């Protein structure tokens, strides 16, 4: 039974790599580090209690699965995920090529 879970985890991580989703957690960790550092350094300057740093960390932690889910859904590409289907749809070719 343990071998089955190991294989499933391996397949899951290979799927993440195939979809290039592994870049998002790294980027999110790097970007989330800055507000956490700012909060820990600036909040005491404004005489805010120490517990006020916790909501910042919790909000950033709650945003992580959302960012990962969006990356999985859109398979983050350099192209705009919302306009890509319109470019390839022949019904919209006339609209895209028309001049105002």
Q: Kindly state the DSSP code that residue 3 receives in the 8-state scheme.
A: H
Residue 97: predicted pLDDT: 56
Question: Is residue 21 packed enough to be buried (19+ CB in 10 Å), middle (13-18) or exposed (0-12)?
Answer: buried
Whole-angstrom distance, CA of residue 44 vs CA of residue 8: 46
| Residue 10 phi, psi dihedral angles, 5° rounding | -65, -40
CA torsion angle for 13, 14, 19, 24 (degrees, to 10)? Answer: 30
Residue 1 has pLDDT above 60, yes or no: no
Q: What is the pTM of this model?
A: 0.59
- Summarize pLDDT for 14-61 with one digit per residue, the tens: 877 776 677 888 899 999 999 999 999 999 999 999 999 999 999 999
Q: Where are the domains of the chain?
A: 20-97
Q: How many CB atoms lie within 10 A of CB 54?
A: 11
């Amino acid at each position: 039974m343990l071998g089955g879970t190991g294989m499933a985890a391996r397949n899951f991580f290979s799927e993440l790599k195939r979809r290039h989703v592994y870049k998002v957690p790294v980027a999110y960790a790097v970007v989330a580090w800055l507000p956490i550092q700012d909060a820990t350094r600036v909040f005491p300057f404004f005489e805010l209690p120490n517990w006020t740093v916790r909501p910042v960390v919790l909000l950033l932690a709650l945003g992580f699965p959302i960012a990962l889910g969006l990356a999985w859904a859109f398979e983050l590409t350099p192209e705009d995920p919302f306009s890509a289907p319109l470019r390839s749809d022949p019904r919209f070719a006339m609209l895209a090529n028309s001049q105002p």
